[in-house]
């Protein structure tokens, strides 16, 4: 009898463990994770896949905001790691030609990054200039859903905290220029230990 009960208990534990591990409620997409956090439906603009996960650029229905979140895929599906939001994104993109935001270096993410929305249809290129050494890099232009254009630059090679973001036409004419100071962070700052 004792051996029989041990076998029954072992089978029950295996079934319970398998059910808990497999779990039908695990988010299979990033959109499922985001929609589980809010009742306001999202509009995915772009998902940028990286070596360590994905960066989601999205907005919420009825809002003028750009949400930028990083997710990592694990055994139980996608998991939110870090993110932020820029309010009045379209308003500022239309008024100034482009918006800009910075995500600092977080351990296990592709950060630091600079990114924003391009509101001026004549802007064909976005350059980021590091003031400390005069280093320039061209951002990647992403043509996302909803006719939204996003610029994105991974900042691994930059130093310091003072930058200029320049929007250029296809002919190289400067259409937008802004200065930014990312203090208290620095582009070369080491990953934060958690």
User: Does residue 21 sit within a domain?
Assistant: no
Q: Is the pLDDT reported for residue 5 higher than 90? A: no
Whether 113 is covered by a domain: the verdict is yes
124 occurs within a structural domain: yes
Angle at 47 between CA 69 and CA 106, to 5 degrees: 35
The whole-angstrom distance between residue 15's C-alpha and the CA centroid of its chain comes to: 37
User: How far apart are the C-alpha atoms of 51 and 83, rounded to whole Å?
Assistant: 17
What are the tens digits of pLDDT across the range 162-188? 999 999 999 999 999 999 998 776 666
- Rg over alpha carbons for the chain, rounded to the nearest Å, is 22
Residue 162: asked if its preceding bond is cis (omega within 30°), the reply is no
Q: Mean pLDDT across the stretch 150-169?
A: 93
* Confidence (pLDDT) at 193: 42
User: Is 5 within a domain?
Assistant: no
How many independent structural domains does the chain possess?
A: 1
Count the neighbouring beta carbons within 10 Å of the beta carbon of residue 91. 12
Where in 63-173 does DSSP place strands (E)? 65-74, 77-87, 101-103, 113-118, 125-130, 136-138, 140-143, 149-154, 162-168
Give dist(CA 33, CA 41) in Å, integer: 12
3-state secondary structure at position 46: strand
Burial of residue 8 (number of CB atoms within 10 Å: 0-12, 13-18, 19+): exposed
Residue 193 lies in a domain: no
Q: What is the pLDDT of residues 21-73, one digit of tens each?
A: 555 567 788 888 888 877 788 999 999 999 989 999 999 988 899 999 999 99
Residue 128 belongs to a domain: yes
Residue range(s) defining the domain that contains residue 128: 30-181
Task: Specify if 187 maps to a domain.
Answer: no
Average pLDDT over residues 79-99: 88
Dist. CA 96–CA 171, nearest whole Å: 19
Question: Is 189 contained in some domain?
Answer: no
Kindly report whether the global pTM for this prediction surpasses the value 0.85. Answer: no
């Amino acid at each position: 009898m004792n051996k029989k009960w041990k076998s029954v208990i072992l089978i029950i534990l295996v079934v319970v463990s398998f059910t808990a591990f497999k779990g039908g409620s695990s988010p299979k997409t990033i959109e499922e994770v985001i929609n589980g956090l809010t009742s306001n439906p999202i509009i995915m603009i772009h998902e940028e896949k990286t070596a360590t996960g994905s960066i989601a650029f999205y907005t919420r229905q009825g809002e003028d905001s750009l949400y930028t979140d990083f997710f990592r895929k694990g055994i139980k599906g996608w998991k939110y790691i870090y993110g932020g939001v820029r309010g009045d994104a379209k308003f500022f993109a239309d008024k100034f030609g482009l918006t800009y935001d910075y995500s600092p270096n977080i351990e296990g993410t592709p950060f630091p990054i600079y990114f924003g929305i391009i509101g001026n249809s004549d802007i064909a290129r976005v350059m980021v200039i590091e003031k400390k050494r005069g280093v320039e890099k061209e951002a990647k232009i992403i043509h996302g859903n909803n006719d939204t254009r996003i610029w994105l630059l991974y900042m691994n090679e930059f130093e310091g905290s003072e930058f200029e973001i320049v929007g250029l036409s296809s002919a190289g004419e400067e259409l937008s220029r802004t200065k930014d100071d990312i203090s208290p962070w620095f582009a070369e700052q080491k990953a934060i230990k958690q």
